[in-house]
Amino acid sequence: MSFARAALHCVALRYADCGSNLDHGYDGGNHYAGSMFRSTSPRPTAAQSPDRTAATPLAWVVADMILILVFAASGRRTHEHGVSVAGVLDTAWPFLLAYGVAALVTRAWRTPAALWPTAVILWLVTVAGGLALRNFSS
């Protein structure tokens, strides 16, 4: 999940116009910026773009849940358990539950696109919690 979140974060939020801002990391002074892409426009605040910020938490939840389901289907296929809707849901429920708990505890809706700490904590708790729940439920 963190790879998808990182890729989407980079493309959607930071470097929306990266083609026109390619500067090879040079910030115009004597400092190397450390990144090939720089955005010259400031990020919009919640007051400036209420529709974007209102839809973002739901979009992240849907994307994360789809990725968890894909992960479960891939695991079932790899371990030759058969890929059926019931089987995928049976495999995915511990990870979905762990994701839900992590999202509530970290209040992920407040900073849904943040890689650190939101995405990292969600990913770690989803994996560790999901594996623990699967182990205890077997």
23-53, pLDDT tens digit by residue? 444 444 444 444 444 455 565 555 555 554 5
Return the higher-pLDDT residue of 59 and 44. 59
Count up the domains in the chain and report the number. Answer: 1
Q: Residue 87: is its pLDDT beyond 90?
A: yes
Is 40 among the domain residues?
Answer: no
Is 129 among the domain residues?
Answer: yes
Is 34 among the domain residues?
Answer: no
Q: What is the DSSP string of 26-50?
A: B-SSS-B-S-SB---SPPPPTTT-H
- CA dist 114 and 5 (Å) reads 9
Is 29 among the domain residues?
Answer: no
Give the domain range for residue 124: 2-18+50-137
Q: Where are the alpha helices (DSSP H) in the chain?
A: 2-9, 50-78, 85-106, 120-137
Is 45 among the domain residues?
Answer: no
Q: What is the pLDDT of residue 109?
A: 92
- CA dist 53 and 35 (Å) reads 26
Query: String of b and e for 47-64 (b: at least 16 CB within 10 Å)?
Result: eeeeeeeeebbeebbeeb
DSSP class of residue 81 equals S
Q: What is the pLDDT of residue 27?
A: 46
Is 24 among the domain residues?
Answer: no
Return the higher-pLDDT residue of 131 and 40. 131
Reference 26, options 37, 13, 14; nearest CA is 37
1-19, pLDDT tens digit by residue? 444 454 444 444 443 443 4
